[in-house]
Amino acid sequence: MTHFRPYRNADSPALAALWNRGAPGSASARPLSAHEFDRHVVGGPLFEAAGLIVAERDGKVVGYAHAGFGPDESGRPLQLGYELGTVGMLVVEPGADDNDEVASGLFAEAERYLRDRGAAVLYAGGQTPLNPFYWGVYGGSEWAGILADHAPFHRAAVRAGYEPVGSTVLLEADLAQAERFDPRGVLIKRQARISVDEDALPRTWWEALAVGDFRPTTHRLISKADDTELARATTWDMTWFGRADGRTRIGLFDMEVHPSYRRKGYGRHLVNEILRFARSHAVHAVSVQTPSTNPTALALYRATGFTSVDTATLYRKPGGLPA
């Protein structure tokens, strides 16, 4: 018989081992050590043991689900907003005859935890700002839903009545490939300069919790005429977590071109400069992601040498939880 219970401090080795067997291999950190699980999954100041539900049978861990919340809209540090909750992660023993049954049980327990904490709207997967855990451990440069080949998690969400509400494309640039030519690059270099801050402060406390340990670097394109910021983006060192292919990576996120300067080639130029910066630091690949409904961003990244490597789906439960 399967028993469901909250996380205990001694669980981390078993949960990390289960992760290495059951998490998708395509875009998740594997192998993940017990120390890394402790530090980057359950070691944060907002972690609640009751939100990490462990499935146990005959003293052996056979699955777990992890539920949580995003930041409070007021912006107050270390304050969560409890109206929106997410079943952020679900991992079960691969190949077990009853893993769908275990997954459904875990999902129900995670929902119960979210309801007890006050959630009125429920999601499955994580997407900014509803991404309380697993940044860098699961997904690409951020955490944006359930990965395509994470079949037990998808099935559990659908069985629980959740529906897809968003899709994200994960892309990667292989820096062994030749640099793409930018026809506007020479002119833009005359007009603007690149500013790189390798010890950048995160923009919010939520971002600080996610990537503050991983040397976030801010890249800015600045007008030479008046020092106006034309575009900016942030990268972080994903190599802190191992991947199956053993390649070094940086993650790119928060790519933004000032509204007054869009469609002038500044975004493409900044991305090219970030790729050049990564090459100079012997990085093998750069990861980025964008909603599948953003053709402009997809075209930008593909023009600079990125290719699609995975997708992630965010689910939502219509009507929230039953009374």
pLDDT at 1: 86
Domains plus CATH for the chain? 3-167 (3.40.630.30), 174-310 (3.40.630.30)
- DSSP characters over 78-136: T-EEEEEEEEEEEEE-TT-TTHHHHHHHHHHHHHHHHHHTT-SEEEES-BTTB--S-TT
- How does pLDDT run along the chain (323 residues), one tens digit per residue? 899 999 999 999 999 999 999 999 878 888 899 999 999 899 989 999 999 999 999 999 999 999 999 999 888 899 999 999 999 999 999 987 788 999 999 999 999 999 999 999 999 998 888 988 898 889 889 988 999 999 999 999 999 999 999 999 999 999 999 999 999 999 999 999 999 999 888 889 999 998 888 889 999 999 999 999 999 999 999 987 767 778 899 999 999 999 999 999 999 999 999 999 999 999 999 999 999 999 999 999 999 999 999 999 999 999 744 44
pLDDT at 323: 41
Query: What is the distance between the alpha carbons of residues 178 and 258, in angstroms, rounded to a whole number?
Result: 29
The answer to whether the beta carbons of residues 21 and 93 sit under 8 Å apart is yes
Which positions ≥6 away from 291 have C-beta within 8 Å? 166, 167, 168, 169, 297
Q: What's the pTM value of the predicted model, to 2 decimals? A: 0.93
Query: What is the distance between the alpha carbons of residues 194 and 258, in angstroms, rounded to a whole number?
Result: 15
In angstroms, how far apart are the furthest CA atoms of the chain?
Answer: 71
The answer to whether the beta carbons of residues 133 and 68 sit under 8 Å apart is yes
pLDDT at 86: 97
